[in-house]
């Protein structure tokens, strides 16, 4: 599953993205409804909902009450057992223990992964600023991943700023396509980043960029790469 580009244009409830500070953490803070992305993305976003995960963990109890109806009352009155099952499901099935985190990836390799993220994010930010003709102001590329380990990584990528007022910026389809094409690929995948984040137990990464640092060469390249204006019909 590819990274989801998060912006007011890609969710059904853009008001939920309003924030008073950046970088804005989204997972476990707000419920957002993605536009597009397919069934897989929507199911993966739903999986971040803790009450739903609790229901999945307790589903054997529900099934048992339907199979052994005479034991339905004792089963329903076993809160300690239910708590133990939820704890096992959350901490052992969906997460990595503190002891195992350091074994997921060598420290030097994790550092290289994070350096690669920083380098690629700055390259993306340079191109975005050049395409927008932005000559001042600070923007940041924010990459947030789910802390759940043994499921498909959920990766949210957004462009945020504190200039004017802190907010998650809207992105055109071309800008979203640029981020999707430039940030991750077959060599640097969301899963590789997720492994490094699991090792460090840090899931929100942000890279800031001052638009004054965009070179003339980058602005010229953006101008040459931008689509030519269409002629008005005769």
Task: Give the model's pLDDT for residue 85.
Answer: 76
Task: Give the model's pLDDT for residue 216.
Answer: 55
Task: Give the model's pLDDT for residue 212.
Answer: 74
Task: Give the model's pLDDT for residue 7.
Answer: 95
Task: Give the model's pLDDT for residue 176.
Answer: 94
Task: Give the model's pLDDT for residue 214.
Answer: 61
pLDDT means per 10 residues, the chain with 234 residues, are: 90 92 90 85 85 76 78 71 76 82 94 97 90 84 94 94 92 94 95 96 94 60 49 36
- Residue 41 · residue 221 · CB < 8 Å: no
Task: Give the model's pLDDT for residue 60.
Answer: 77
Neighbours of 32 (CB within 10 A): 20
Task: Give the model's pLDDT for residue 94.
Answer: 79
How far, in Å, CA of 10 to CA of 13, rounded? 9
Task: Give the model's pLDDT for residue 218.
Answer: 55
Alpha helical stretches, state H, the chain: 38-47, 50-67, 72-76, 79-88, 98-101, 107-132, 173-183, 190-200, 216-225
How far, in Å, CA of 159 to CA of 179, rounded? 10
Judge if pTM exceeds 0.85: no
Q: Hey, CA dihedral for 58, 63, 65, 68, is it positive or negative? A: negative
């Amino acid at each position: 599953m590819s990274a989801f580009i998060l912006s007011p244009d890609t969710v059904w409830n853009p008001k939920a993205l309003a924030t008073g500070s950046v970088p804005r953490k989204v997972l476990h803070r707000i419920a957002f409804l993605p536009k597009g992305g397919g069934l897989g993305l929507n199911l993966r976003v739903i999986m971040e909902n803790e009450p739903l995960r609790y229901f999945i963990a307790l589903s054997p109890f529900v099934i048992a009450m339907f199979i052994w109806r005479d034991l339905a009352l004792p089963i329903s009155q076993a809160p300690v057992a239910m708590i133990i099952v939820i704890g096992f499901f959350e901490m052992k099935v969906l997460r990595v223990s503190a002891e195992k985190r350091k074994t997921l990836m060598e420290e030097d390799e994790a550092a290289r992964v994070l350096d690669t993220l920083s380098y690629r994010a700055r390259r993306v930010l340079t191109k975005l600023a050049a395409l927008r003709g932005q000559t001042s102001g600070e923007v940041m590329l924010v990459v947030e991943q789910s802390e759940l380990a043994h499921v498909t990584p959920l990766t949210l990528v957004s462009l945020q700023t504190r200039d004017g007022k802190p907010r998650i910026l809207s992105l055109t389809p071309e800008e979203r396509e640029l981020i999707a094409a430039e940030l991750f690929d077959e060599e640097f995948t969301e899963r590789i980043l997720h492994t490094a984040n699991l090792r460090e137990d840090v899931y929100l990464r942000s890279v800031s960029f001052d638009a004054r640092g965009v070179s003339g060469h980058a602005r010229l390249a953006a101008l040459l790469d931008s689509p030519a204006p269409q002629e008005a019909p005769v």
